[in-house]
Amino acid sequence: MVKDHGCLLRMKRTITEISAQKRNRRRVNICLNGSYAFSLDRLTAAWLQVGRELSDEEIEKLQSRDEVEVGFNQTLNLLSYRNRSSAEMTRYLEGKGYAPQTLNAVLARLQEEGLLDDERFAREWIENRNIFRPRSQSQLRAELRQKGLEESVISTALGESEMDDAALAMAAARKRAHRYLSSDYETYRKKIGNALLRRGFSYSTVNETLRALWDELQQAETGEANITMEQLTQ
C-alpha cells in the first residue's frame, strides 16, 4: 500500500513563531509552516513552543479550548457588574454565538469555581431588594422567574427570608416618608400608597401600613415638639 505523503504533511504542521498580539497582550499569534494560522489565549498556548508539530486534531482541540477560555473571560467581565443566574448566563453566551458544547463547558467551569449558583443568587437578590428597594414577595417571585430560576429555588429562598409583606411594606414606606412629613394625610396616602402598590403590595397591606406609619410619624412629631417646649422653659 502506497502512503499518501501529501496527506501526512497536511496532518502535521510545525510551529514556526509564537508572538504576542499588540492590541491584546493576553493573546498570542501562532504561525505554522511560516504563515499565520490562528491566535490563542496565553493560558491555552502556555505549553506550546517553536518547533513543535501539531496535527489537525491537536489544532482543533487547541481552538476549542481557546474558545472556552475566551467565553469564560467574557463571563467574568459580566459578573464584575453583578451576579447572574444560570439562565441569564446561558442567554448571554448564546447571544455571543457560542456553540452548545462551548457554552456548556463555560457554564460547568463557572459552577466548579463557585461563580454560578442559582440558590445563592436567589438569596442575594432577595436580600439586596429587602435592604435597598423593598417590594412584595409576589413581585420578588416574579423578578426571580424572569431571571430563569426554578420555582423550588425561588420558594426556598423566599421561605428563608425573615421579612413578610407587612414588614417589607413598612420598610419601603419608611424610605419615602421623610418627603411628606409636612404634607396632609391625603397627599401622604396617595404618594406613598401608589409607590407601594407599584411594588406589588396588596391594598389591605398598603392601607394598614399607611395608617400605622402615619400614627407613628405624628407621635414622633408631637414628641419632638414637647421636648422643644420643655427645653425652652428650662
Q: What CATH number has the domain bearing residue 218? A: 1.10.10
Q: What is the DSSP letter of 179?
A: G
Give residue 224's pLDDT: 55
Q: pLDDT band for position 230 (50/70/90)?
A: very low
- Mark which of 112, 147, 177 sits at the end of a domain: 112
| Spatial separation of the C-alpha atoms in residues 30 and 50, rounded to whole Å | 9
Same domain, 178 and 190: yes
Give residue 21's pLDDT: 92
Same domain, 147 and 170: no
Q: Tell me the per-residue pLDDT of 131-154, one tens digit each, with 9 for 90 and over.
A: 999 999 999 999 999 999 999 999
Query: What is the rounded average pLDDT of the residues 163-176?
Result: 94
If one counts the domains in the chain, the total is: 3
Answer yes or no: is 61 within a domain. yes
Domain range holding 180?
Answer: 165-224
Same domain, 172 and 145: no
| Spatial separation of the C-alpha atoms in residues 76 and 101, rounded to whole Å | 19
Give yes or no for residue 32 having a pLDDT over 60. Answer: yes
Q: What is the pTM of this model?
A: 0.77
Contacts 24+ apart (CB under 8 A), 117-125: 118/85, 118/86, 118/149, 118/150, 118/153, 119/153, 119/156, 119/157, 120/83, 121/83, 121/84, 121/85, 121/147, 121/149, 122/149, 122/153, 122/154, 122/156, 122/157, 123/157, 123/160, 124/83, 125/157
Least confident of 18-27, 76-85, 107-116, 204-213: 18-27
Same domain, 154 and 183: no
Same domain, 89 and 31: yes
Q: Are 136 and 168 in contact (CB under 8 A)?
A: yes
Q: pLDDT band for position 108 (50/70/90)?
A: very high
Same domain, 134 and 201: no
Answer yes or no: is 215 within a domain. yes
Same domain, 134 and 175: no
